[in-house]
Structure 1
Amino acid sequence: MAKLPRMPKSIPKRAPSKPPPFTPRPQPIAKPSQTAKSFRYRDLTPPDIPFSPTISEAEAKKRARVNKWGRGFPLIVMGLTAFGTGMYGVQLWMSLSSVDSISVPEDVSDRFDKEADGYDEKVNTAEWLLRLKSRRKALTALAHGHVLEVSVGTGRNIPYYPTKKCETVTLLDQSGPMLAVAKKKWKDMQQEYFHRVFFKQQSALDPITPPFGAQGGYDTVIQTMGLCSTPEPVKLLQNLETVTKEDGGQILLLEHGKSRYKWLNDLLDRTAPAHAREHGCWWNRDIGKIVEESGLEVVKIKRYNFGTTWWVELKPRKGARKRLAELKKAQEEVKCITQEQLSASPGSPVAQRPWWNIWR
């Protein structure tokens, strides 16, 4: 029988083989026609190192979309601004071309009745260009206590009311359709505060009765774009003074009127009749002169948009309500005396004696 070969007592160990030296892949040479976008990170990695991208493909697409919109956003804003400016310029040119001979009454407040439904859409573009939205928001933020807003219109200040700082809010306007839009807007935007709001349809030139708890006067009186539509702006401010609390009360106005520049004032004067006929607003009134003639104490005046937008903060004079009450009482006495004199004058029906008293 053949014998099997004997196993060796120990197997010699082989020396570990050394890895070949690392030789990086040669980088491609850019051709003149290639751009930086044609290179990939995978092509520049060594052959023995696996490629592992830091972001996923979906994330890369998302970032590409964000970068695309980021580059296009300024162009969109510039386009919208140019469109709005162009539309405003067209409207202004149409006003300029039709102001040859226009007869417009001083009281144009009745124009607002027919414009109530589409008023917000009509003025949105102009107010956006003039940044009046931010002005309205900043002005209304100063309201506190018992608040009165006159010439409220469709309630363009309603979204900005600090309701937590207001005890009551009275919204007043002469136009019934405008006030109806404002009432609906408040109910939609400030539903939880609706039970503490009062809506009054009357002229701001007539006596205003504060609600219960504010018999000393309103803490804050607000009017935005109202002096342009009233036939007696000075009387309106004096009437607001009589319903404002003397200690700590404030009257806040945001108005549009004359500019600082003569060329712009000439343009406003020329287009004012057509604008008043269409929109019920005399936009060329001198707000500074109206405030001065009213006699109210000026706290602050700021102007924007070439001086045509007026921010005015006023406070009532001491004893103004008492003086007005005395003046009204004196006027009533004079009226009574005048009526007595007329009734007693010769030839009047009351002064003639009856025929049976002819011997007296």
Structure 2
Amino acid sequence: MLGYFVQWGVYQRGYHVKNIDTSGSAAKLTHINYAFGNVQNGQCAIGDSYADYDRFYQAGESVDGVADTWDAGALRGSFNQLRKLKKKYPHLKVLFSFGGWTWSGGFGQAAQNPAAFADSCYRLVEDPRWADVFDGIDIDWEYPNACGLTCDTSGPAAFRNVMSALRSRFGSGNLVTAAITADGTDGGKIDAADYAGAAQYVDWYNVMTYDFFGAWAAQGPTAPHSPLTSYDGIPIGGFHSDNAIQKLKSKGVPASKLLLGIGFYGRGWTGVTQAAPGGTATGPAPGTYEQGIEDYKVLKTRCPATGTVAGTAYAYCGGQWWSYDTPSTIGGKMSYSKNQGLGGAFFWELSGDTTNGELLTAMKNGLG
């Protein structure tokens, strides 16, 4: 049971490491991925030093009720809070995630010298100031030999080579994982890189089985962003979670190394006139931080679910159409994960849940 904690959550969202504890989530999680570190000049790099290890936490904001200090060499920021969280919950493992949608542009250069890249990552993750905080590394390369925010042309073997170098450098005593595409269409992103060949080097893959559809297609058709299965009228055939899982398994990736991804947010459109999926729209629905996307904790009451499709929920309210997972649909997805023999499940990301962690609770109950 793995959840992402986002570095930028400490700003507008006001979501800190302490919230993982007070929500009851820390006791239910086994792993936390800290997102993100950057990839620059062929190396792993700190993305936001203030949030990571410099921000001063007052006693009331701190996991253990003890304020940070300005003593020379003292660790602060989220890294220190994670250290305190691990002290309170010794079972927790924390991984440092690198890349993500915004910071994946540097992986192409990193792939030109995988050993040097891996060494830089090891030195950063195992920096003496916070070596006890992290139990391994997670690579969120969006996407090897395919297009994300930028297009990567490093070839089909690059991902395998990078993961091999990371495993060599980090050794068997650290976790080495990756978040990977869920595009199982023919000639799509799974086909673009050697995920099967790299599987021997990773402890598991976080399969990003969400964001299949969204208001980047501003006029619609409205469609659920995290369909578990296909359904009549799906805008792109094969664009669903089960297809990704089956494709990875058919390529030889062990099911036990695959985690099913759950989004703790919805994606939505406005100017919609029909409640069922497949309607037209005039643009992305308004969102708190970004148009077309909203946290589950907000949508739960602002636009409650009115139906289900393909194992996920949708909601129609006041001309807006949203899709998101609920405790009920998460239960179904966890049953699927168990039936497929998957290694578990993960989610993006902690701040989207309710203050009492109801989505994570549904995941935990569903996995048993």
TM-score by length of 2: 0.27
TM-score by length of 1: 0.28
Larger gyration radius, structure 1 or structure 2: 1
User: Which structure has the highest strand share of the two?
Assistant: 2
Question: Which structure would you say has the larger RCO, counting Cα contacts within 8 Å and 6 or more residues apart?
Answer: 2
